[in-house]
Amino acid sequence: MSVENIRIVLVNTTHPGNIGSAARAMKTMGLSSLYLVDPVDFPSGEARALSSGATDLLESAVVTQTLEEAIADCELVIGASARVRGISLELTDPRDTAQVAVSEASTGRKVALVFGREDRGLTNEELRLCHRQVHIPSVAEFSSLNLAASVQVLAYELRMTSLSHEGEASVPEVREYELASSEQMESFYTHLRDMLNDVGFFKSCNPEKIMAKLRRIYGRSRLDRMEYNIMRGILTETQAAVKNLRKPS
Ligand code: SAH
């Protein structure tokens, strides 16, 4: 089943009850992979109570310190956000998101759906680690759902999509190489930033803004592992060439 490749990631959740309710929401829809990034209170009796029997998900939940660790092996990362921010990631509704997530998962890729904290959602830094954004089209003046309720909406759409795909032969997209993982892309962005710094590209412009745009470009093109290696090689050679040029003769 392709949904096994889809994980729900809850970032820095404050209320353990929300973790339990999210586990319940997942289990009712056939999802089982739960990642908790730096939860404020976990494990907890309240989480168990509100999971209403989905304790197996709580017991097998993977707890990490950072979002980077929770998504390191994922090829597609989707951030759920109550507000539609200026970061201009590709934005979709839960139904379209489920289509993309299930079809990627059915080719064996690992997909993460990332949910933010109850009071402030996901930080811009965290959203930058995502390839796309999903927004539940709530009313603009009261847009924020409860955390577990938003997990339920996404889990339901994933279920509907995977049910409608059941029995269909999945035709994997033909790619010679696997896509680069999130961990690889993060080291690529760090290297790219260092190289641009070495060549003096940033000058008076804001490196954060430029890097956000570059992430968008590379996020769209989705490098495979061979392309990733080529890009890393180009960066290394560019840095070496600049260093040589600057050597006093
Ligand atoms: N006040 C916060 C809302 C946090 S709600 C904010 O403005 O960002 C907790 C989490 O539930 C959010 O980070 C998001 O992951 C999810 N969520 C809540 N409402 C949502 C919506 N309308 N669309 C998508 N995700 C939503």
Q: What is the pLDDT of residue 87?
A: 58
Atom of ligand 1 nearest to the CA of 138: 22
Q: How confident is the model at residue 246 (pLDDT cuts 50, 70, 90)?
A: confident
Q: How confident is the model at residue 191 (pLDDT cuts 50, 70, 90)?
A: very high
Interval 151-180 mean pLDDT: 84
Which residue out of 141, 144, 151, 156 has the highest number of ligand 1 atoms within 8 Å of its CB and is therefore the one to mutate? 144
Q: Which amino acid is at 224?
A: D
116, 78, 122: which is closest to 97 by C-alpha?
A: 78
Q: Which residues of 16-55 are buried (b: 16+ CB within 10 A; e: fewer)?
A: bbbbbbbbbbbbebebbbbbbbbbeebbbebbbebbeebb
> What domains lie within the chain, and their CATH numbers?
6-166 (3.40.1280.10), 182-246 (1.10.8.590)
* Packing angle of the helix pair 147-165, 94-105 (nearest 10 deg): 60
The CA 79 to ligand 1 mean position distance, Å, reads 10
Q: What is the pLDDT of residue 55?
A: 97
Residue written as token pair 């951030």: 79
Q: What is the pLDDT of residue 168?
A: 65
What tens digit of pLDDT does each residue of 44-70 get? 999 999 999 999 999 999 999 999 999
The C-alpha atoms of residue 102 and residue 119 are separated, in whole angstroms, by 29
What tens digit of pLDDT does each residue of 113-153 get? 999 999 999 998 999 899 999 999 999 899 999 999 999 99
Determine how many CB atoms are found less than 10 A away from the CB of residue 80.
25
Q: What is the pLDDT of residue 29?
A: 97
Contact 215, 182 (CB under 8 A): no
Ligand 1, CB within 6 Å, residue ranges: 80-83, 115-116, 118-122, 134-136, 138, 143-145, 147, 150
Q: What is the pLDDT of residue 169?
A: 56
pLDDT higher than 60, residue 241: yes
The CA 83 to ligand 1 mean position distance, Å, reads 7
In percent, the amount of the chain with pLDDT more than 70 equals: 94
Angle 85-89-92 (CA atoms, 0-180°, nearest 5)?
Answer: 90
60, 75, 77: which is closest to 9 by C-alpha?
A: 77
Q: What is the pLDDT of residue 33?
A: 98
Q: What is the pLDDT of residue 248?
A: 80
The CA 161 to ligand 1 mean position distance, Å, reads 22
pLDDT higher than 60, residue 1: no
pLDDT, averaged across the chain: 92
pLDDT higher than 80, residue 166: no
Is residue 37 within a helix (H) or strand (E), and if so which, with residue range? strand 33-37
pLDDT higher than 80, residue 89: no
The CA 12 to ligand 1 mean position distance, Å, reads 13
| Phi, psi dihedrals of residue 177, rounded to the nearest 5° | -125, 155
Angle 92-77-62 (CA atoms, 0-180°, nearest 5)?
Answer: 130
Q: What is the pLDDT of residue 160?
A: 96
Which residue out of 21, 77, 147, 154 has the highest number of ligand 1 atoms within 8 Å of its CB and is therefore the one to mutate? 147
Q: How confident is the model at residue 43 (pLDDT cuts 50, 70, 90)?
A: very high
The CA 239 to ligand 1 mean position distance, Å, reads 41
Determine how many CB atoms are found less than 10 A away from the CB of residue 59.
12
Looking at ligand 1, which residue's alpha carbon is closest to its atom 8? 121
Q: How confident is the model at residue 172 (pLDDT cuts 50, 70, 90)?
A: low
The CA 120 to ligand 1 mean position distance, Å, reads 8
